[in-house]
Every structure is written in C-alpha cells, then in structure tokens.
Amino acid sequence: MENSYKYFRHGDLWIRPLEKGEEQKGEKLQADKVRLALGEATGHVHLLQGIHPGALITFWGKDGDVNGFTLEDDATITHQEHHMRKMPAGDYVIDKEVEWDYFKEEQRVVAD
C-alpha cells in the first residue's frame, strides 16, 4: 500500500522525500539505529529504527548531522516527548524547523 503523505513531521524535524536529481550530501553510512537529531536544550533524541530486527538504514550527513536516509523497509521514529511515527520505505531528506527572531532580524534553527 502506497503512503499518501508527502511530508512527515516529527517534533522540530520536517522529513520529505528526496526529489529526483537531488544529491545525497555527505558521507554515507549504515546502521540498525540512527540518531536523526539530538535536542540541544533537553538532550532528547529523534531515533530512527527498522521495524524488523537487523534491518539496516543507509544514512548520509556531515559532522555528526544526519541530512537524509534511505529505508529499504518500513521504520519508526521515536522521541521522549512525541508519539512514535511510522515511516514507509523510501529516500528522505531532513529539514530542521526554523523560526524568525524579530529582534535580531534573523532566521535560526529551533532548539529542542
């Protein structure tokens, strides 16, 4: 069954399908669990894990930040303050939520 969602949200993370022709930037690695983001303020973790034991997730990023991932099979994302989110197989890019600081007149990534 194909998922009808195009974008996924999990807390301050926006997860979208990798667009055709879009590059996977950064070093590629594989693991059975991947920390997508670590909360700067809380220390809480967005953790991606395959539904089936031993399922590997291919992910890419730079300097410890995960920029995207490929799922060969369904997976889940968990976090201490959010509901578990099921992710269907596919190629995804992670965009972090941003906010506008009207006093400094600048955009910044939301701190978790």
3 occurs within a structural domain: no
Segment 63-92 mean pLDDT:
88
Question: Would you state the pLDDT for residue 5?
Answer: 52
Question: Would you state the pLDDT for residue 1?
Answer: 40
Q: Give the number of domains in the chain.
A: 1
If pLDDT is split at 50, 70 and 90, which confidence band does 27 have?
A: confident
If pLDDT is split at 50, 70 and 90, which confidence band does 98 have?
A: low
Domain range holding 28? 8-109
Average confidence score pLDDT of the chain = 81
Side-chain-side CA neighbours of residue 32 (13 Å): 5
55 with 33: CB under 8 angstroms?
no
User: 96 or 72: whose pLDDT is higher?
Assistant: 72
52 occurs within a structural domain: yes
Does residue 112 have a pLDDT over 60? no
74 occurs within a structural domain: yes
73 occurs within a structural domain: yes
1 occurs within a structural domain: no
Question: Would you state the pLDDT for residue 3?
Answer: 45
Residue 46: other Cβ atoms inside 10 A: 24
Q: What is the DSSP letter of 18?
A: P
Question: The pTM is what?
Answer: 0.75
Does residue 25 have a pLDDT over 70? yes
Segment 39-49 mean pLDDT:
82
58 occurs within a structural domain: yes
Distance CA 105, CA 68 (A): 29
